[in-house]
Amino acid sequence: MSADIQARFGDRNLMVVSPDVGGVVRARALAKRLDNAPLAIVDKRRERAGESEVMNIIGDVAGRFCVLIDDIVDSAGTLCNAASALKAAGAEDVVAYVSHGVLSGGAVARVDASDLLELVITDTIQGTEAVNTAKKVRHLPIAPLLGEAIKRIADESSVSSLFD
């Protein structure tokens, strides 16, 4: 994912954003790979059961090209709400990179109607027709990564360095 971000958006004023406190380690690792890009965190909480989440942004995202990073997306509600909060806080644009795109129910429509410029998912989960034809969803293949891992195992070289 970092190579794709660098190739497509490396000339932008990048900021890596964790959509929740639990993803900070993942976001920090990506930020490190992106030439130590700055990091922001979306702090979300429910005021009362059944009420929508209140989102606060930890970090100054004004004028930044924000890259949300997460491991899995199902309904896409959190990512879409985070994108709206980032734009409201002055972000130039927001893209999201997610390892596993479940995208169930109305997720694709939610993404297409959101403030996200693009949602990038890997092909670890076979997409539905709606996912495959969505205007804001792009797929990254994992085959090259798997192939390189197999090659390194066969060569008895480091697989973990793939993720440094």
Of residues 139, 119, 116, the one with CA closest to residue 127: 139
Q: pLDDT band for position 49 (50/70/90)? A: low
**Phi and psi (nearest 5°) for 50?**
85, -10
pLDDT of residue 51: 60
pTM of structure = 0.93
Higher pLDDT, 47 or 90: 90
Dist CA 130 CA 125 (whole Å): 13
Residue 4: alpha-carbon gap to chain centroid: 12
Domains annotated for the chain, with CATH where assigned, are 2-163 (3.40.50.2020)
Cβ-contact 81, 44 below 8 angstroms: yes
Dist CA 137 CA 61 (whole Å): 23
pLDDT beyond 80 at 45: no
Dist CA 29 CA 66 (whole Å): 15
pLDDT of residue 58: 97
The string of pLDDT tens digits covering residues 9-38 is 999 999 999 999 999 999 999 999 999 999
Cβ-contact 99, 122 below 8 angstroms: yes
Active-site positions read 44
Q: How far apart are the first and last CA of the chain?
A: 12
The string of pLDDT tens digits covering residues 99-134 is 999 999 999 999 999 999 999 999 999 999 999 999
Q: pLDDT band for position 55 (50/70/90)? A: confident
Strand ranges (DSSP E) for the chain? 14-18, 39-46, 53-58, 65-73, 93-101, 118-122, 137-140
